[in-house]
Chains A and B, each alone.
Chain A
Amino acid sequence: MTLDKLQPGKKGYIVSVGGEGALRRRLLDLGLTPKTIVLVRKVAPLGDPIEIFLRGYELTLRREEAARIEVAEVH
Chain B
Amino acid sequence: MGIDIALIGNPGCGLTTLFNQMTGGSVHTGHFSTPGNKTKEGPVKNHKDVNVIELPGTYSLSAYSIDDVATREILLRGKPDVIVNVIDATGFERNLYLTLQLMELELPMVLALNMMDEMENNQIDIDLQKLSQELTIPVIPIAASKNRGTHDLIHYALQAAREHHVPQKIDFCSGHVHTAIHTVSHLIAEDAKKAELPLRFCCTKIVEGDEPTLEALRLGDPELDIIDHLIEDMQNHLGTDRESAMADMRYAFIEKLCKKVLSRPVQSTKEHARSVRMDRILTHRIFAIPIFLCIMLLVFYFTFGSLGTWLSDLLSAGIDKCVEAISYALLGAGVNPAFHSLVIDGICAGVGSVLSFLPIIAVLFFFLSILEDSGYMPRVAFVMDKLLRKLGLSGRSIVPMLIGFGCSVPAIMATRSLPSKRDRSLTMALIPFMSCSAKLPIYAMFTAAFFTDHKALVMIGLYVTGIIVAIVCALAFKGTLFRGDPVPFVLVLPPYRIPAMKSVALRMWENVKGFIKKAFTVIFVATIVIWFLQSFDTGFNMVSSSDTSILADIGKIAAPIFAPLGFGDWRAATALITGMSAKEAVVSTLAVLTGAADGASLSAMLTQVFTPLSAFAFLVFCLLYMPCVATLATIRREMGGWRYAFGVMLFQCVVAWIVSFIVFHVGGLFL
Q: Residues of A with Cβ closer than 8 Å to B?
A: 16-17, 22-31, 33-34, 36, 41-49, 51, 55-62, 64-65
25 contacts between A and B (CB under 8 A): A17-B244, A23-B488, A26-B59, A26-B60, A28-B243, A28-B244, A28-B247, A30-B59, A31-B93, A31-B247, A43-B285, A44-B283, A44-B382, A45-B286, A46-B383, A49-B382, A49-B386, A49-B489, A56-B265, A57-B492, A59-B492, A61-B488, A61-B490, A61-B491, A62-B489
Contact among B64, B244, B267, B492 for A22, CB-based, below 8 A? B64
Contact among B90, B279, B381, B387 for A56, CB-based, below 8 A? B90
Known interface pairs A51-B382, A56-B93; A30-B243 also in contact (CB < 8 Å): no
CA gap between A71 and B55 in the complex, in Å: 35
Q: What are the residues of chain A within 8 A of B395 when measuring CB–CB?
A: 49
CA gap between A32 and B311 in the complex, in Å: 50
A-contact 0/1 string along B234-246, CB 8 Å cutoff: 0000001001100
CA gap between A61 and B22 in the complex, in Å: 35
Contact among B268, B283, B286, B493 for A59, CB-based, below 8 A? B493
Contact A56 B267 (CB under 8 A): yes
Contact B386 A34 (CB under 8 A): no
Known interface pairs A25-B62, A56-B272; A33-B244 also in contact (CB < 8 Å): yes
Q: What are the residues of chain A within 8 A of B272 when measuring CB–CB?
A: 56
Known interface pairs A30-B59, A31-B93, A56-B266; A25-B243 also in contact (CB < 8 Å): yes
Contact A55 B243 (CB under 8 A): no
Chain A nearest CB: distance from B174 CB in Å? 15
> Which residues of B392-420 are within 8 A (CB) of A?
395, 419
Q: What are the residues of chain A within 8 A of B64 when measuring CB–CB?
A: 22, 25-26
Among residues of A, the one whose C-beta sits closest to the C-beta of B378 is: A60
CA gap between A56 and B378 in the complex, in Å: 17
A-contact 0/1 string along B259-297, CB 8 Å cutoff: 000000111100010001001000111101100000000
Known interface pairs A30-B94, A34-B248, A49-B382; A60-B489 also in contact (CB < 8 Å): yes
Contact B283 A51 (CB under 8 A): yes
Q: What are the residues of chain B within 8 A of A36 when measuring CB–CB?
A: 251
The secondary structure that dominates the A interface is: mixed
Contact B488 A60 (CB under 8 A): no
Chain A nearest CB: distance from B280 CB in Å? 9
Contact B489 A65 (CB under 8 A): yes
Q: What are the residues of chain B within 8 A of A25 when measuring CB–CB?
A: 60, 62, 64, 208, 243, 247
CA gap between A59 and B272 in the complex, in Å: 13
Q: What are the residues of chain A within 8 A of B251 when measuring CB–CB?
A: 31, 33, 36
Known interface pairs A25-B62, A31-B93, A61-B489; A46-B387 also in contact (CB < 8 Å): yes
Contact B385 A62 (CB under 8 A): yes
Known interface pairs A22-B64, A23-B488; A46-B386 also in contact (CB < 8 Å): yes
* Cβ-based interface call for B92 (8 A): yes
Contact B244 A49 (CB under 8 A): no
* Cβ-based interface call for B198 (8 A): no
Q: What are the residues of chain B within 8 A of A64 when measuring CB–CB?
A: 488
CA gap between A35 and B215 in the complex, in Å: 33
Q: What are the residues of chain B within 8 A of A33 when measuring CB–CB?
A: 244, 247-248, 251
Q: What are the residues of chain B within 8 A of A48 when measuring CB–CB?
A: 385-386, 389
CA gap between A56 and B493 in the complex, in Å: 11
Contact B91 A60 (CB under 8 A): no
* Cβ-based interface call for B97 (8 A): yes
Q: What are the residues of chain B within 8 A of A60 when measuring CB–CB?
A: 378, 381-382, 385, 489-493
Among residues of B, the one whose C-beta sits closest to the C-beta of A68 is: B488
Contact B243 A56 (CB under 8 A): no
> Which residues of B476-520 are within 8 A (CB) of A?
488-495
Contact A29 B493 (CB under 8 A): no
Contact B59 A44 (CB under 8 A): no
Among residues of A, the one whose C-beta sits closest to the C-beta of B209 is: A25
CA gap between A46 and B286 in the complex, in Å: 9
CA gap between A65 and B385 in the complex, in Å: 14
Contact B91 A56 (CB under 8 A): yes
CA gap between A24 and B97 in the complex, in Å: 16
Chain B nearest CB: distance from A49 CB in Å? 5
A-contact 0/1 string along B210-240, CB 8 Å cutoff: 0000000000000000000000000000001
Which of A24, A30, A36, A58 has its CB near the most chain B CB atoms (within 10 A)? A58
Contact B59 A29 (CB under 8 A): yes
Q: What are the residues of chain B within 8 A of A23 when measuring CB–CB?
A: 488, 490
Chain A nearest CB: distance from B670 CB in Å? 35
Contact among B62, B378, B385, B495 for A44, CB-based, below 8 A? B385
Contact among A22, A55, A65 for B93, CB-based, below 8 A? A55
A45-B288, A62-B489, A64-B488 given. 19 additional CB < 8 A pairs? A16-B240, A17-B244, A23-B488, A25-B247, A26-B62, A26-B490, A29-B59, A34-B248, A36-B251, A42-B285, A46-B385, A46-B386, A51-B493, A56-B265, A56-B267, A60-B381, A60-B489, A61-B491, A62-B385
Q: What are the residues of chain A within 8 A of B247 when measuring CB–CB?
A: 25, 28-29, 31, 33
CA gap between A45 and B267 in the complex, in Å: 26
Contact A30 B492 (CB under 8 A): yes
Q: What are the residues of chain B within 8 A of A16 when measuring CB–CB?
A: 240, 244
Among residues of A, the one whose C-beta sits closest to the C-beta of B249 is: A33
Known interface pairs A30-B492, A34-B244; A45-B383 also in contact (CB < 8 Å): yes
Contact B490 A27 (CB under 8 A): yes
Q: What are the residues of chain B within 8 A of A55 when measuring CB–CB?
A: 91, 93-94
Q: What are the residues of chain B within 8 A of A51 when measuring CB–CB?
A: 283, 382, 493
CA gap between A51 and B395 in the complex, in Å: 13
Contact A56 B492 (CB under 8 A): no
Contact B97 A65 (CB under 8 A): no
Among residues of B, the one whose C-beta sits closest to the C-beta of A62 is: B489
Contact A45 B93 (CB under 8 A): no
Q: What are the residues of chain B within 8 A of A27 when measuring CB–CB?
A: 490
CA gap between A27 and B289 in the complex, in Å: 28
Q: What are the residues of chain B within 8 A of A42 when measuring CB–CB?
A: 279, 283, 285
CA gap between A64 and B60 in the complex, in Å: 23
Q: What are the residues of chain B within 8 A of A46 when measuring CB–CB?
A: 383, 385-387
